[in-house]
Amino acid sequence: MHFDDLLTEQRNHRSTHIDRESTLEMVATINREDHRVARAVQKQLPEIAAAIDAAFPKFDDGGRLIYVGAGTSGRLGVIDATELQPTYGLTAEQTFGLIAGGTEALTHTIQAVEDSPELAQDDLAAVNLGPKDVVIASAASGQTPYTVFALQFAQDQGALGIGFSCIEDSPLAKLADYPITPVVGPEVITGATLLKAGTAEKMVLNMLSTGIMIKSGKVYQNLMINVVPSNGKTFERAKKIIAEATQTSTLAAERALDRAGNNIPLAIVLIETKGTIAEAKALLGATNGHVSQAVKLNDSHQD
């Protein structure tokens, strides 16, 4: 399909007079279009769930979550990967983003790099992809050469390929093991895919990464339990997480955290099971660090 024929590049008849609207009318127009984004993403929930179910066992088994894209799509991927690290206690080796043009492209527009299949191959070859890895490739148009070729290269190495785009039957969608294609329609400002397409990508990436983290045991109840207590603020947050998770006092939480060597999951299991450090460690070891499964396993042993 010719680039100018893509739905994301068409004019939006609902915003043709946006330059003559009052400021309130203008933002209302943008907001109405954003409502369409949520509905488009909602239609993709089965596909998003299937991608999560395919991805988390690989991540659980030591695979990496790798985002790939160019321009806005690439920047959003880098943001998601970067935020996962402090939120869920991941390292920069476990999840990271690759953007066409490298780190300079995060703050500057670098022409032509998104059209380079060779650059995509070089970037992915440098991280030694393997069959445990999960690659999330994003491109609003679904046909950016850097992104499409990166996904092809990743799959050639045996990695799982998830493809985000806003165009049905795009090259990226056809190539991906798990295509996710919320059709958001024409942008409020013609061709400005940082708007609705960018919002859709952020929503989808949030669901994908959050789902993978939950399924991989990085969340207990609805609490982020892999925060690493490294300063006063995070230490206080850790105590609050433990207290809320176990319905106990912050003093009891602090004592358990101290016994557990500042390991939040271990402290929670200690309180929930009323066992020893050795027993709590054994439960977490048997469940690959999943706190809810560890507590359930302990309960089954008590029956």
The three-class DSSP label of residue 36 is helix
Place of tokens 């991805």: 55
168 a catalytic residue: no
Is 114 a residue of the active site?
A: yes
Neighbours of 202 (CB within 10 A): 16
Q: How far is CA 147 from CA 65, 117, 138, 150, 164, in A?
A: 16, 8, 7, 5, 10
What 3-state class would DSSP assign to 65? strand
Active-site residue identified among 33, 114, 201, 272: 114
Residue 228 in tokens: 């690493």
Indicate the helix (H) or strand (E) that contains 224: strand 223-224
Q: Which of 9, 25, 47, 83 is catalytic?
A: 83
Q: Which two tokens stand for residue 98?
A: 């690759």
Residue 302: Cβ within 10 Å count: 8
Strand locations in 62-104, DSSP E? Answer: 65-69, 95-99
**Cα 24 to chain center, whole Å?**
33
Rounded CA-CA distance 129/136 in Å is 13
Task: Kindly report the number of other CB atoms within 10 A of residue 133's CB atom.
Answer: 23
Residues with a known catalytic role: 83, 114
